[in-house]
A and B are shown apart, each in its own frame.
Chain A
Amino acid sequence: MKPERWQQISRIFNRAILLDAAARSAYVKENCGADSDLQAEIEKLIESHQQAEGDDFIGGLAVEDVAEHFSEADEELALQKGRQFGNYLILDHLGTGGMGEVYLAKDSRLDRTVALKILASDVVADKQRMQRFSQEAKVASSLNQPNILTIYEFGEVDTLTFIAAEFVDGETLRDYIRAKRLKLVEILDIGIQMLAALDAAHEASIVHRDMKPENVMIRKRDHVVKVLDFGLAKVTEQKRGSDAVTAEQVLSEFKTAPGLIMGTVNYMSPEQALGKPVDARSDIWSSGIIIYEMVAGTTPFRGSTSAHTIVQILEKQPASLTHSVGVPPELQRIVDKSIAKDADERYQTAKDMLIDLRNLRRRLDLDAEIERSSAAVTVEYAQPARTAEPVATETSKENYALVVALIAIVASLVAVFAVNTWRSTRNRPVVPPPAPIVSTPGRTLTYWITVQKFKDGRAYQEPFDISGEINFEIDYQIRLSVRSPQPGYLYILNEGPETAATAPEYVVVFPSSTANNGSEYITANQRIQIPDQSWLKFDKEQGVEKLWLVFGENPLPELEGIRAFANRQSRGLITDAQLNTSVKSFLTAHSANQVGHEKGDTLTTLTSSEKVLVYPIKLEHH
């Protein structure tokens, strides 16, 4: 923009905002004359000005706006490893939450490993509330419900208040859904266990008040769900000076203390947001939001600020879930009923919601049963519907209804294909079968790449599928999807742009510690998407990236060693030079084999007559 233009805009703008609405519009029009661009620009600025005033945009201080994140990163821990703390020996720091720091510790009296939570000083300040919390937590724990975290001890050592609880070796639901997209059955299993915990607690008149993915743990060994921190929310609940009853009042309260409620509003029920008394039905709301998030990947109400989120919680109708892949209408109904704005229209008890979730789960099991009984037929006819593949996985509402209807009639060939499509979106334990049922000569593998454009760190435009090599821009982010009509062992490695100086380095993309239960074995027609939820991003180094696809009929001993590097800590990079070399020679040797290459609009099908297919997808980026 030319400086004169800018000056002109600011002159008119600054005068205009001093006028009242009616005079303002006339003033702008008069001063812009025939220059409609100028007028539009100024009107846009005036609108922004009003919004900025309304939102109190940058009205505070920068340091306050980011203070919370500062304290997260730079805090010093209260306890060090190896320290004896009362009867507990501190083994490790597990994490820090809003309520305090959590340590892994050993109870020397019982020789038992526990999770030790040191409550933050501001949490324990109110003795009366602490008292009530400890009572509630003890009651919840004493219910002996397997999905409620067991609390062993409340205590105080060196002026620090602590809770010693059952140690759950696993991750929070937050991390769990961040790492992978959950399958429907898994979502239901988690939902059922959450509701079972709430049902037991509600029976004992205990309301959780702060159900959110951070307070739900998934145990690694058996995927058992544990709900944490019953009653703790009561301690930190904000005291409201007055009973705010309108959205405006609530908003103005939140604006005056935005930091106080950060991070928790997304799961807050309307009555909670309004500061009204909450009961069990508020927990039901929050559980509904969590289930919604597990399905859609995001919570239904999300504003740019906490205040905006609250407005949405109070007023907005959530987007339908059935846009997501393979969501049965019954699940939509359950979620809708759990997040009715009016608590009277919600499930009135956790038990009712639990029953509906269990019934749906049982129905899916039944479907799977029918599906399995037709599996023998499936294998022979399961040809990939090539050009339609990516679309076919989008099991829509109608498709689902169709599938159910067809299963009910007879497992005809048409139905078998439909069932198969539906099955591919479902979680089934990935166990290599003792022997392949059908052994086709050679290997076939189909892949496509989904591209998402990004601008200023945000996704823009809809993602689109392509069949392979185009020139990628630096701000394109991609996902790779792979599927084969045959079962087999899949490995995917990334090789960075060649540099003259160094040997190529490989990054293990698949198998990964999270996707496909960590297994390299994929079943026929199973779709593997990498990464599961986020995107692959190009780094600044220009050139040609290779994504090596390796698909074997049998496990490949040459690549066995890469599994050790397939984890998040090393970010998949193979740091063992010897292994790097042997991977390189394996890829080089096999890529000499002929690979058929059939490229469609949105997907490419590779074929090889060998027992192992090796193919580099080349991604050029600038």
Chain B
Amino acid sequence: MKQFVPMKKDPPRQEHQITQLLAEWREGNQAALDELYPLVYDELHRLARRYMSRERKGHTLQTTALINEAYVRLIDQRNVQWANRSHFFAISAQIMRRILIDHARRHAYAKRGGGARQVSLDETATVIHEDLAEFLRLDEALKSLAELDPRRSQVVELKYFGGLNNDEIAGVLKISKNTVIRDWNMARAWLHSQLAGSASN
């Protein structure tokens, strides 16, 4: 797996640069995405932390609101086309997935010494929180699905991680809304069967 390491590039946020990169990516320049990724990661991560901090405990979390806020902060609103917003959401969904999985993994293994020392035998944390373990298994299953059927895994990513609705997903993937619904049903059933399979073994 390609390990993504967020760049330690702090603001000033280059609104213009991000807007530009987004446009380039939409036009098919994959290198733009590589540059875009860490910038958006940092911003989303910062926001996610704030959103999920204690003070807001009990408040309903809205991924969409969160990504929207990142969007407003990062993108130069004056020269932007509407289509950019969907694309921003698409990439944000991917990044949110990355952030949450990174976090879940760190948290799940924190009990194992956090990798501070290379110790040969290690007591496994039997206490990995079930939810986190389940969450990590879902991510693995989603990776398998991506190999089998990239589009359906993208639908799940956009919906579950990105918080996009069916219309938005249809827009991003350039497919009909009905196809989104069909893809979702199939992908969800398949993921469910994969998780149920690993759990019962």
Contact = CB atoms under 8 A, between A and B. Distances in A.
Contact of B148 (A1, A14, A507): A1
A37 interface: no
A63 B100 contact: yes
Contact of A61 (B61, B103, B126, B140): B61
A572 B122 CA distance: 10
A62 B182 contact: no
B57 A17 contact: no
Interface in B17-61: 48-49, 51-55, 57-58, 60-61
A537 B52 contact: no
Contacts of B138: 58
Interface string B106-135: 110010010001111111111111111111
Contacts of B149: 6, 10
Interface stretch (A189-197, A357-365, A378-386, A528-536): A528-536
A63 B62 CA distance: 8
Interface in A12-28: 13-14, 17
Interface in B176-199: 182, 185-186, 188-193, 196, 198-199
B147 to A, nearest CB: 10
B4 to A, nearest CB: 17
A571 B113 contact: yes
Interface residues on A, range: 35 or more
A59 B148 CA distance: 22
Nearest to B140: A456
A572 B149 CA distance: 46
B77 to A, nearest CB: 24
Interface stretch (B7-15, B82-90, B156-164): B156-164
A167 B171 CA distance: 59
Interface stretch (A340-348, A519-527, A538-546): A538-546
B190 A62 contact: no
Contact of B119 (A58, A62, A121, A573): A573
A505 B120 CA distance: 9
Nearest to B126: A534
A457 to B, nearest CB: 6
A66 interface: yes
Contact of B161 (A46, A62, A74, A460): A62
Contacts of A539: 118-122
Contacts of B140: 456
Contact of B48 (A49, A58, A70): A70
A62 B160 contact: yes
Given A61-B61, A457-B137, A66 B123 contact: no
A69 B53 contact: no
A48 B122 contact: no
A57 B182 CA distance: 16
Given A571-B113, A571-B117, A63 B132 contact: no
Given A14-B182, A122-B57, A122-B58, A63 B196 contact: no
B16 interface: no
A537 B161 CA distance: 32
B120 A73 contact: no
A2 to B, nearest CB: 10
B69 to A, nearest CB: 13
Contact of B125 (A14, A63, A72, A534): A534
A13 B121 contact: no
A545 B121 CA distance: 8
Contacts of A58: 138, 156, 160, 188, 191
A150 interface: no
A425 interface: no
A73 B192 contact: no
A533 B125 CA distance: 10
B74 interface: no
Contacts of A477: 124
Contact of B121 (A64, A69, A73, A536): A536
A51 interface: yes
Contact of B188 (A49, A61, A74, A262): A49
B79 interface: no
B52 A45 contact: no
B173 interface: no
B174 to A, nearest CB: 19
Contacts of B127: 178
Contacts of A545: 120-121
Contact of A48 (B60, B133, B189): B189
B170 interface: no
Given A73-B107, A120-B54, A457 B113 contact: no
B49 to A, nearest CB: 5
Nearest to A478: B121
A67 B72 CA distance: 23
Contact of A455 (B160, B188, B201): B201
B131 A69 contact: yes
Contacts of B119: 496, 507, 539, 571-573
A66 B54 contact: no
A533 B126 CA distance: 9
A129 to B, nearest CB: 15
A536 B132 contact: no
B140 to A, nearest CB: 7
Given A48-B190, A66-B104, 12 more contacts: A6-B148, A13-B189, A52-B189, A62-B97, A63-B63, A121-B55, A304-B130, A495-B120, A533-B126, A534-B126, A539-B122, A573-B119
Across chains A and B, which 9 residue pairs bring their CB atoms closest together, nearest first?
A496-B120, A49-B189, A48-B193, A70-B52, A52-B192, A48-B192, A534-B126, A537-B124, A48-B189
8 contacts: A14-B186, A49-B188, A70-B48, A75-B53, A460-B201, A477-B124, A534-B124, A534-B126
Interface of A: 1, 6, 10, 13-14, 17, 44-49, 51-52, 55, 57-58, 61-76, 120-122, 178, 262, 304, 455-458, 460, 477, 494-497, 505, 507, 509, 531, 533-539, 541, 545, 570-573
